[in-house]
Amino acid sequence: MLNRRAFLASTAAIGLAASVGPAFAADAPQLEIFVPAAPGGGWDQTARTMDQVLRTDKLISGSQITNVGGAGGTVGLPQFVSRYKGKGNTLMVGGMVMVGAIIANKSAVKLDQVTPIARLTGEFEALVVPAASPFKTVADFIAALKEDPTKVPVAGGSAGGSDHILFGLMAKTAGVDPTKISYVPFAGGGEALAALLGNQVAGGISGYGEFSEQVKAGTLRVLAVSSDKRQEGIDAPTLKESGIDVELFNWRGVFAPPDVSDEDKAAMVKMMEDMTKSAAWAEECKNRQWTSIPLTGEAYETFLKEDIARIEGILKDLGLA
């Protein structure tokens, strides 16, 4: 999928870096990873990190990563389904964003057509306000929201994405009509952050990692995080503790093609279980501020069904589906 020149260039550069690839383990399989997004994003990084960790732990001999980006993964998904049907040792990276995109884009191919293997990581979200904001707690924020939702503009990522979904869920739980909320979508985390730092909006919702350095520097204040429990090093309660019964992880996981044999499926589940237990994986997650939330087998399938239903519900409430 690489352009030839880029490929040559990158191999040349890697060669120059004097890297010697890890020794090939004779019996380790070759893995194919399909990324339904352009290089550089979260899914792509997940794939490349998986490749790195699996090779370090000699669970695979190497992997081929294919990127087919676009429309929240809904361009790549149908290609994955048709091209890799029944093929073992093949994984597609996906996650909550794809669930939302399938619903919002009315994609003909859905996640129930692929084989869920494992949930790997998640990024919990944070509700932040500029340092100068009068809101000190979630209660302050919700009180203002209840009084007049249009006066509390909140910045985040694209419409219908995880940030918008969380804001909708929060409003709904607090008894505010989700169609009335004032959500200001930005193309990227950077732009939303700039709007917050420039005091253009009342608050912001995004993955905590987007805000962490600003919080450390004291320019933003975290009101709450969307994880199940308090996080080490973050001086903020969870939404649940603040009286808003919402928990949300922007999760990422892997899927196998349709119609894979039970053996192949079991092998891939095993590989993912081994990977998520490894020290190298823990180290990468720490560096990248990913929370490891492994879930495999039936538990993952149940979780997936529930999450799809929840997201579909809130997108309908927000008027997006």
Partner 1 sequence: MDTLAQLAHGFSVAFSPVNLLWCLLGTTLGTAIGVLPGLGPALTIALLLPITYQVAPEASFILFAGIYYGAMYGGSTTSILLNTPGESATIVTALEGNKMARSGRGGAALATSAIGSFVAGTIGTLGVAFLAPVVVKFALSFGPAEYFSLMVLAFITVSAVLGSSAVRGLSSLFVGFVIGMIGVDLQTGQPRFTFGLTELLDGVDVIIAAVGLFAVGETLYVASRRYAGKDEIVPLKGSLYMTAQEWARSWKAWIRGAFIGFPIGAMPAGGAEIPTFLSYAVEKKLSKHKEEFGTVGAIEGVAGPEAANNASAAGVLVPMLTLGLPTSATAAIMLSAFQSYGINPGPLLFTTQGNLVWGLIASLFIANVILVILNLPLIGLWVKLLKIPAPQLYAGILVFSTVGTYGISQSPIDLVVLYLLGAVGFLMRRFDFPTAPVIIGMILGPLAEAQFRRAMTISNGDWTVFFTHPLSLTLLILAFLGLLGPHIWGYIERRRLKGQEAVPGDA
Footprint on this chain of partner 1 (rule: CB under 8 A): 1-3, 5-6, 9-10, 13-14, 16-19, 38-40, 44-45, 48, 52, 68-71, 74-75, 78, 104-105, 107, 150-151, 153, 158-160, 182-191, 193-195, 197-198, 200-201, 209, 212-214, 216-217, 219, 286-289, 320
288 vs 310, which CB is nearer to partner 1? 288
CA 8 to chain centre: 31
Q: How far is the CB of 187 from partner 1 (least distance, A)?
A: 6
Q: How far is the CB of 185 from partner 1 (least distance, A)?
A: 5
Q: How far is the CB of 240 from partner 1 (least distance, A)?
A: 27
Contact 80, 258 (CB under 8 A): no
Q: How far is the CB of 288 from partner 1 (least distance, A)?
A: 5
Q: Which of 84, 132, 99 is nearest to 258 (CA)?
A: 84
Q: Which of 126, 163, 146, 121 is nearest to 311 (CA)?
A: 163
145 vs 239, which CB is nearer to partner 1? 145
Q: How far is the CB of 39 from partner 1 (least distance, A)?
A: 3
Q: Which of 81, 85, 87, 67 is nearest to 109 (CA)?
A: 81
Amino acid, single-letter form, for residue 293: I
199 vs 261, which CB is nearer to partner 1? 199
Burial class (CB in 10 A: 0-12, 13-18, 19+), 4: exposed
104 vs 248, which CB is nearer to partner 1? 104
Q: Which of 70, 75, 81 is nearest to 113 (CA)?
A: 81
